Amino acid sequence: MKLLDIHLTRIQIEPTNRCNARCVICRRTHWNREIGDLSLENFKKILDKLPKTERLHLQGQGEPLLNADLDIMVRLARQSGMSVGLSTNASLLNKSKATKLFAAGINRLNFSIDTLDPELFQKTRPGPQLDRILQNIEVTVLERERQGIADLHLSVTVVGKPSTIHSLPDVVNWAASLKMDSVLLQNVNYDFQYDRTINDRILEMDIPKYNEYTAIAQRIAEKKGLKLLLPSLTSEKNIQCGWPYQGCNITWDGYITLCCLQPDPDIYRFGNIFQEGFEEIWNNKLYRQFRKSFAKGTAVLCSKCPALYGNMWHHSETPVRNQN
Ligand SMILES: C[S@@+](CC[C@H](N)C(=O)[O-])C[C@H]1O[C@@H](n2cnc3c(N)ncnc32)[C@H](O)[C@@H]1O
Ligand code: SF4
Protein backbone atom coordinates (compact mmCIF):
# COMPACT_ATOMS: atom_id res chain seq x y z
CA MET A 1 0.00 0.00 0.00
CA LYS A 2 1.44 3.38 -1.00
CA LEU A 3 1.54 6.34 1.39
CA LEU A 4 -1.25 8.10 -0.49
CA ASP A 5 -3.54 5.08 -0.02
CA ILE A 6 -2.99 4.96 3.73
CA HIS A 7 -5.61 6.83 5.68
CA LEU A 8 -5.18 6.82 9.45
CA THR A 9 -8.17 7.56 11.61
CA ARG A 10 -6.20 8.01 14.82
CA ILE A 11 -2.65 8.27 15.95
CA GLN A 12 -1.04 8.84 19.30
CA ILE A 13 2.23 10.76 19.56
CA GLU A 14 4.09 11.03 22.87
CA PRO A 15 5.32 14.59 23.62
CA THR A 16 7.28 13.29 26.61
CA ASN A 17 7.49 10.30 28.87
CA ARG A 18 8.50 12.42 31.85
CA CYS A 19 5.92 12.72 34.58
CA ASN A 20 5.49 14.54 37.87
CA ALA A 21 3.26 11.81 39.32
CA ARG A 22 3.79 8.16 40.12
CA CYS A 23 0.33 6.66 39.71
CA VAL A 24 0.20 3.15 41.11
CA ILE A 25 -1.52 1.64 38.08
CA CYS A 26 0.51 3.48 35.44
CA ARG A 27 3.00 1.35 33.55
CA ARG A 28 5.55 4.17 33.39
CA THR A 29 5.79 4.08 37.19
CA HIS A 30 7.05 0.50 36.93
CA TRP A 31 9.20 0.44 33.81
CA ASN A 32 12.82 1.45 33.07
CA ARG A 33 12.42 3.07 29.67
CA GLU A 34 14.78 5.86 28.70
CA ILE A 35 13.15 9.16 29.67
CA GLY A 36 12.95 12.07 27.24
CA ASP A 37 10.97 14.73 25.38
CA LEU A 38 9.93 14.86 21.75
CA SER A 39 11.64 17.94 20.29
CA LEU A 40 9.72 20.33 18.06
CA GLU A 41 12.10 19.46 15.23
CA ASN A 42 11.36 15.75 15.59
CA PHE A 43 7.63 16.41 15.89
CA LYS A 44 7.77 18.24 12.53
CA LYS A 45 9.70 15.30 11.04
CA ILE A 46 6.93 12.95 12.17
CA LEU A 47 4.18 15.19 10.76
CA ASP A 48 6.03 15.36 7.45
CA LYS A 49 6.22 11.57 7.24
CA LEU A 50 2.65 10.75 8.27
CA PRO A 51 -0.06 9.98 5.75
CA LYS A 52 -3.44 11.72 6.01
CA THR A 53 -4.56 11.39 9.63
CA GLU A 54 -7.94 12.36 11.10
CA ARG A 55 -7.35 12.45 14.85
CA LEU A 56 -4.18 12.97 16.87
CA HIS A 57 -3.91 12.20 20.56
CA LEU A 58 -0.89 14.15 21.75
CA GLN A 59 -0.03 12.01 24.70
CA GLY A 60 1.83 8.89 25.69
CA GLN A 61 3.28 7.52 28.87
CA GLY A 62 4.00 10.80 30.60
CA GLU A 63 2.49 14.18 31.38
CA PRO A 64 2.11 16.10 28.07
CA LEU A 65 2.13 19.53 29.75
CA LEU A 66 5.75 18.96 30.75
CA ASN A 67 6.70 19.53 27.12
CA ALA A 68 7.18 23.30 26.75
CA ASP A 69 6.33 23.19 23.02
CA LEU A 70 3.01 21.41 23.46
CA ASP A 71 0.83 24.27 22.21
CA ILE A 72 3.04 24.73 19.13
CA MET A 73 2.65 21.00 18.39
CA VAL A 74 -1.12 21.33 18.71
CA ARG A 75 -1.11 24.27 16.32
CA LEU A 76 1.05 22.49 13.72
CA ALA A 77 -1.09 19.35 13.83
CA ARG A 78 -4.27 21.42 13.47
CA GLN A 79 -2.73 23.22 10.51
CA SER A 80 -2.05 19.87 8.86
CA GLY A 81 -5.74 19.03 9.13
CA MET A 82 -5.91 16.82 12.22
CA SER A 83 -8.30 17.10 15.09
CA VAL A 84 -6.17 17.16 18.25
CA GLY A 85 -6.75 16.04 21.82
CA LEU A 86 -4.78 14.99 24.89
CA SER A 87 -5.13 13.64 28.41
CA THR A 88 -3.52 15.38 31.33
CA ASN A 89 -3.27 14.97 35.08
CA ALA A 90 -3.99 18.76 35.12
CA SER A 91 -1.43 19.48 37.82
CA LEU A 92 0.45 21.94 35.58
CA LEU A 93 -2.55 23.49 33.92
CA ASN A 94 -3.34 27.15 34.56
CA LYS A 95 -5.22 29.94 32.83
CA SER A 96 -2.26 30.92 30.68
CA LYS A 97 -1.50 27.35 29.50
CA ALA A 98 -5.17 26.65 28.87
CA THR A 99 -5.46 29.85 26.82
CA LYS A 100 -2.41 28.86 24.73
CA LEU A 101 -3.91 25.43 24.03
CA PHE A 102 -7.28 26.99 23.14
CA ALA A 103 -5.59 29.48 20.81
CA ALA A 104 -3.68 26.62 19.16
CA GLY A 105 -7.02 25.01 18.35
CA ILE A 106 -7.12 22.01 20.69
CA ASN A 107 -10.31 19.95 20.19
CA ARG A 108 -10.34 17.57 23.18
CA LEU A 109 -8.96 17.79 26.71
CA ASN A 110 -9.37 14.79 29.04
CA PHE A 111 -8.65 15.27 32.74
CA SER A 112 -7.60 12.15 34.64
CA ILE A 113 -9.37 12.01 38.00
CA ASP A 114 -10.26 8.74 39.73
CA THR A 115 -11.45 10.09 43.09
CA LEU A 116 -12.25 13.37 44.85
CA ASP A 117 -10.98 12.04 48.19
CA PRO A 118 -7.59 13.76 48.77
CA GLU A 119 -6.13 10.92 50.86
CA LEU A 120 -7.14 8.22 48.43
CA PHE A 121 -5.95 10.39 45.57
CA GLN A 122 -2.49 10.67 47.15
CA LYS A 123 -2.35 6.92 47.69
CA THR A 124 -3.27 6.05 44.12
CA ARG A 125 -1.75 9.02 42.28
CA PRO A 126 1.20 10.09 44.46
CA GLY A 127 2.65 13.45 43.48
CA PRO A 128 0.53 16.49 42.69
CA GLN A 129 -2.06 17.74 45.18
CA LEU A 130 -5.73 17.11 44.41
CA ASP A 131 -7.02 20.54 45.52
CA ARG A 132 -4.61 22.24 43.12
CA ILE A 133 -5.62 19.92 40.29
CA LEU A 134 -9.33 20.55 40.82
CA GLN A 135 -8.69 24.28 40.90
CA ASN A 136 -6.72 24.08 37.63
CA ILE A 137 -9.53 22.15 35.94
CA GLU A 138 -12.15 24.59 37.15
CA VAL A 139 -10.13 27.55 35.84
CA THR A 140 -9.84 25.82 32.46
CA VAL A 141 -13.53 25.01 32.19
CA LEU A 142 -14.50 28.56 33.15
CA GLU A 143 -12.05 29.97 30.64
CA ARG A 144 -13.65 27.89 27.88
CA GLU A 145 -17.00 29.34 28.89
CA ARG A 146 -15.66 32.89 29.16
CA GLN A 147 -14.09 32.69 25.69
CA GLY A 148 -17.21 31.03 24.27
CA ILE A 149 -15.26 28.20 22.63
CA ALA A 150 -17.70 25.76 21.09
CA ASP A 151 -15.42 23.24 19.37
CA LEU A 152 -13.65 21.92 22.48
CA HIS A 153 -14.72 18.72 24.21
CA LEU A 154 -13.85 18.63 27.92
CA SER A 155 -14.06 15.29 29.68
CA VAL A 156 -12.94 13.36 32.73
CA THR A 157 -11.31 9.97 32.41
CA VAL A 158 -11.75 7.67 35.39
CA VAL A 159 -9.84 4.41 35.59
CA GLY A 160 -12.08 1.69 37.06
CA LYS A 161 -9.89 0.50 39.93
CA PRO A 162 -11.21 -1.56 42.87
CA SER A 163 -9.85 0.99 45.36
CA THR A 164 -11.58 4.01 43.81
CA ILE A 165 -14.68 2.75 42.00
CA HIS A 166 -16.92 3.96 44.85
CA SER A 167 -15.84 7.52 43.95
CA LEU A 168 -17.39 7.40 40.48
CA PRO A 169 -20.76 8.97 41.47
CA ASP A 170 -18.95 11.91 43.14
CA VAL A 171 -16.71 12.45 40.13
CA VAL A 172 -19.72 12.39 37.79
CA ASN A 173 -21.56 14.85 40.02
CA TRP A 174 -18.57 17.19 40.10
CA ALA A 175 -18.01 16.99 36.32
CA ALA A 176 -21.71 17.70 35.71
CA SER A 177 -21.63 20.70 38.04
CA LEU A 178 -18.81 22.13 35.91
CA LYS A 179 -20.79 21.46 32.73
CA MET A 180 -18.16 19.13 31.31
CA ASP A 181 -19.16 17.23 28.19
CA SER A 182 -18.52 13.65 29.31
CA VAL A 183 -17.04 11.22 31.81
CA LEU A 184 -15.37 8.08 30.56
CA LEU A 185 -14.86 5.11 32.86
CA GLN A 186 -12.12 3.03 31.33
CA ASN A 187 -10.98 -0.49 32.06
CA VAL A 188 -7.66 -0.98 33.73
CA ASN A 189 -5.03 -2.15 31.34
CA TYR A 190 -3.34 -4.43 33.81
CA ASP A 191 -1.13 -6.29 31.40
CA PHE A 192 2.00 -5.30 33.29
CA GLN A 193 5.14 -7.20 32.71
CA TYR A 194 6.76 -4.88 35.21
CA ASP A 195 5.15 -5.53 38.56
CA ARG A 196 2.96 -8.60 38.89
CA THR A 197 1.66 -7.49 42.29
CA ILE A 198 -0.30 -4.69 40.58
CA ASN A 199 -2.20 -7.29 38.57
CA ASP A 200 -3.06 -9.15 41.75
CA ARG A 201 -4.43 -6.02 43.39
CA ILE A 202 -6.51 -5.14 40.36
CA LEU A 203 -7.99 -8.63 40.28
CA GLU A 204 -9.67 -7.92 43.60
CA MET A 205 -12.53 -5.93 42.05
CA ASP A 206 -15.93 -6.87 43.46
CA ILE A 207 -18.38 -6.99 40.54
CA PRO A 208 -21.65 -6.35 42.47
CA LYS A 209 -19.94 -3.31 44.02
CA TYR A 210 -18.85 -2.17 40.57
CA ASN A 211 -22.41 -2.56 39.25
CA GLU A 212 -23.84 -0.67 42.20
CA TYR A 213 -21.58 2.39 41.80
CA THR A 214 -21.84 2.54 38.02
CA ALA A 215 -25.66 2.41 38.31
CA ILE A 216 -25.67 5.33 40.80
CA ALA A 217 -23.30 7.27 38.56
CA GLN A 218 -25.49 6.56 35.54
CA ARG A 219 -28.57 7.94 37.32
CA ILE A 220 -26.72 11.13 38.28
CA ALA A 221 -25.43 11.55 34.74
CA GLU A 222 -28.90 11.12 33.24
CA LYS A 223 -30.45 13.53 35.70
CA LYS A 224 -27.79 16.18 35.07
CA GLY A 225 -27.53 15.67 31.33
CA LEU A 226 -23.92 14.49 31.28
CA LYS A 227 -22.71 11.77 28.95
CA LEU A 228 -21.26 8.83 30.93
CA LEU A 229 -19.42 6.18 28.94
CA LEU A 230 -19.04 2.81 30.67
CA PRO A 231 -16.88 -0.11 29.56
CA SER A 232 -18.21 -3.56 28.85
CA LEU A 233 -17.47 -6.27 31.39
CA THR A 234 -18.00 -9.41 29.37
CA SER A 235 -15.07 -11.79 28.99
CA GLU A 236 -15.89 -12.52 25.36
CA LYS A 237 -14.23 -10.68 22.53
CA ASN A 238 -16.90 -8.09 21.93
CA ILE A 239 -15.66 -5.19 19.88
CA GLN A 240 -13.81 -4.63 16.67
CA CYS A 241 -10.50 -2.87 17.13
CA GLY A 242 -9.26 -0.71 14.28
CA TRP A 243 -5.75 0.05 15.54
CA PRO A 244 -3.84 -2.50 13.39
CA TYR A 245 -5.34 -1.02 10.21
CA GLN A 246 -6.13 2.58 11.11
CA GLY A 247 -3.52 3.98 13.48
CA CYS A 248 -0.57 3.50 15.76
CA ASN A 249 1.31 4.89 18.73
CA ILE A 250 4.60 6.79 18.28
CA THR A 251 6.94 7.20 21.25
CA TRP A 252 8.98 10.36 21.92
CA ASP A 253 12.03 8.55 20.50
CA GLY A 254 10.24 7.54 17.31
CA TYR A 255 9.25 3.91 17.89
CA ILE A 256 6.02 2.77 16.29
CA THR A 257 4.00 0.49 18.54
CA LEU A 258 0.58 -1.05 18.04
CA CYS A 259 -1.69 1.29 19.99
CA CYS A 260 -2.18 3.32 23.15
CA LEU A 261 -2.62 0.12 25.17
CA GLN A 262 0.61 -1.43 23.86
CA PRO A 263 2.87 1.63 24.06
CA ASP A 264 6.09 0.02 25.32
CA PRO A 265 8.57 -0.41 22.45
CA ASP A 266 10.74 -2.64 24.63
CA ILE A 267 7.90 -5.16 24.56
CA TYR A 268 6.91 -4.82 20.91
CA ARG A 269 7.66 -2.36 18.14
CA PHE A 270 7.28 -2.33 14.38
CA GLY A 271 10.06 0.14 13.54
CA ASN A 272 11.37 3.66 14.13
CA ILE A 273 9.99 6.62 12.18
CA PHE A 274 13.26 8.56 12.51
CA GLN A 275 15.08 5.75 10.71
CA GLU A 276 12.55 4.68 8.07
CA GLY A 277 9.58 6.01 6.14
CA PHE A 278 6.11 5.50 7.59
CA GLU A 279 4.97 3.51 4.55
CA GLU A 280 7.96 1.15 4.88
CA ILE A 281 7.11 0.39 8.50
CA TRP A 282 3.34 0.17 7.94
CA ASN A 283 3.85 -2.49 5.27
CA ASN A 284 6.85 -4.34 6.75
CA LYS A 285 7.00 -8.04 7.57
CA LEU A 286 6.35 -7.56 11.27
CA TYR A 287 3.19 -5.53 10.63
CA ARG A 288 1.95 -7.97 7.96
CA GLN A 289 2.56 -10.98 10.18
CA PHE A 290 0.90 -9.27 13.10
CA ARG A 291 -2.21 -8.33 11.05
CA LYS A 292 -2.53 -11.91 9.84
CA SER A 293 -2.60 -13.28 13.37
CA PHE A 294 -4.86 -10.43 14.49
CA ALA A 295 -7.39 -11.28 11.76
CA LYS A 296 -7.36 -14.92 12.92
CA GLY A 297 -7.84 -13.79 16.53
CA THR A 298 -4.52 -15.30 17.61
CA ALA A 299 -2.40 -12.15 18.13
CA VAL A 300 -0.60 -12.74 21.42
CA LEU A 301 0.06 -9.02 21.70
CA CYS A 302 -3.71 -8.40 22.05
CA SER A 303 -4.51 -11.40 24.22
CA LYS A 304 -5.09 -9.39 27.37
CA CYS A 305 -6.44 -6.21 25.86
CA PRO A 306 -9.15 -4.68 28.05
CA ALA A 307 -10.51 -2.73 25.08
CA LEU A 308 -10.83 -5.77 22.85
CA TYR A 309 -12.17 -8.13 25.46
CA GLY A 310 -13.94 -5.52 27.58
CA ASN A 311 -13.01 -7.28 30.78
CA MET A 312 -10.80 -6.03 33.58
CA TRP A 313 -10.21 -9.52 34.86
CA HIS A 314 -9.47 -11.55 31.76
CA HIS A 315 -6.29 -13.63 32.01
CA SER A 316 -4.19 -15.27 29.34
CA GLU A 317 -0.61 -15.91 28.34
CA THR A 318 2.02 -13.19 28.63
CA PRO A 319 2.75 -11.59 25.24
CA VAL A 320 6.08 -12.35 23.61
CA ARG A 321 8.81 -9.74 23.50
CA ASN A 322 10.39 -8.62 20.27
CA GLN A 323 13.48 -6.45 19.91
CA ASN A 324 13.12 -5.17 16.37
C1 LIG B 1 -0.80 7.26 30.78
S2 LIG B 1 -1.76 8.69 31.13
C3 LIG B 1 -0.82 9.95 30.28
C4 LIG B 1 -1.44 11.32 30.32
C5 LIG B 1 -1.46 12.03 31.65
N6 LIG B 1 -0.29 11.90 32.38
C7 LIG B 1 -2.69 11.64 32.46
O8 LIG B 1 -2.53 11.10 33.55
O9 LIG B 1 -3.80 11.90 31.98
C10 LIG B 1 -3.19 8.53 30.08
C11 LIG B 1 -4.40 7.93 30.77
O12 LIG B 1 -4.12 6.58 31.09
C13 LIG B 1 -4.69 6.29 32.36
N14 LIG B 1 -4.01 5.10 32.89
C15 LIG B 1 -2.83 5.01 33.52
N16 LIG B 1 -2.54 3.74 33.83
C17 LIG B 1 -3.56 2.99 33.35
C18 LIG B 1 -3.86 1.60 33.37
N19 LIG B 1 -3.04 0.71 33.91
N20 LIG B 1 -5.01 1.19 32.80
C21 LIG B 1 -5.86 2.09 32.23
N22 LIG B 1 -5.64 3.40 32.19
C23 LIG B 1 -4.50 3.85 32.75
C24 LIG B 1 -4.49 7.56 33.14
O25 LIG B 1 -5.33 7.64 34.25
C26 LIG B 1 -4.81 8.59 32.08
O27 LIG B 1 -6.21 8.85 32.04
S1 SF4 C 1 -0.01 11.23 35.68
FE2 SF4 C 1 -0.44 10.03 33.83
S3 SF4 C 1 1.57 9.41 32.99
FE4 SF4 C 1 1.89 10.23 35.06
S5 SF4 C 1 2.01 8.42 36.33
FE6 SF4 C 1 -0.12 9.16 36.35
S7 SF4 C 1 -1.21 8.12 34.67
FE8 SF4 C 1 0.99 7.83 34.39
Ligand nearest to the CA of 112: 1
Ligand nearest to C-alpha 59: 1
Q: Is the CB of 29 under 6 A from ligand 2?
A: yes
- CB of residue 86 inside a 6 A radius of ligand 2: no
**Cβ 158 vs Cβ 171: under 8 Å:** yes
Rounded to an integer, what distance in angstroms lies between the CA atom of residue 111 and that of residue 95?
15
Half-sphere exposure of 34 (CA within 13 A, CB side): 10
From the CA of 128, give the closest atom in ligand 2.
1
Q: Is 114 in the pocket of ligand 2 (CB under 6 A)?
A: no
Strand segments, DSSP code E, in the chain are 7-13, 52-57, 83-88, 108-112, 153-159, 182-186, 227-229, 247-250, 255-257, 271-272
In the prediction, which pLDDT does 302 show? 84
Nearest CA to ligand 1 atom 26: 112
Q: Within 10 A of 303 (CB to CB), how many other CB atoms are there?
A: 17
User: What pTM was computed for the model?
Assistant: 0.92
pLDDT of residue 207: 77
Work out the end-to-end distance of the chain between its first and last CA atoms, rounded to an integer number of angstroms. 22
Q: How far is the CA of 27 from the centre of ligand 2 (A)?
A: 8
**110 Cβ closer than 6 Å to some ligand 2 atom:** no
- Would you call 248 exposed, middle or buried from its count of C-beta atoms within 10 A (0-12, 13-18, 19+)? buried
3-class SS shares of the chain: helix, strand, coil, % to 5: 40, 15, 45
Ligand nearest to the CA of 159: 1
Atom of ligand 1 nearest to the CA of 60: 3
Q: What is the mean pLDDT of each run of 10 residues along the chain (324 residues)?
A: 73 97 90 94 97 95 98 98 97 97 97 96 93 98 94 93 91 97 85 64 72 94 94 60 92 96 91 97 96 89 69 36 34
How far apart are alpha carbons 252 and 236 in whole angstroms?
34
Q: Count of CB atoms within 10 A of residue 52's CB?
A: 14
How far does residue 19's CA lie from ligand 2's centre (Å)? 6
CA of 223 from ligand 2 middle (Å) equals 31
> Does residue 16 line the site of ligand 1, with CB under 6 A?
no
- For CA atoms 305, 113, 68, 18, give the dihedral sign: negative
Q: What is the pLDDT of residues 10-63, one digit of tens each?
A: 999 999 999 999 998 898 988 889 999 999 999 999 999 999 999 999 999 999
pLDDT on residue 301: 84
264 CA to middle of ligand 1, Å?
14
Residue located nearest, by CA, to atom 3 of ligand 2:
62
Nearest ligand, measured from the Cα of 87: 1
Question: What pLDDT sits at residue 273?
Answer: 98
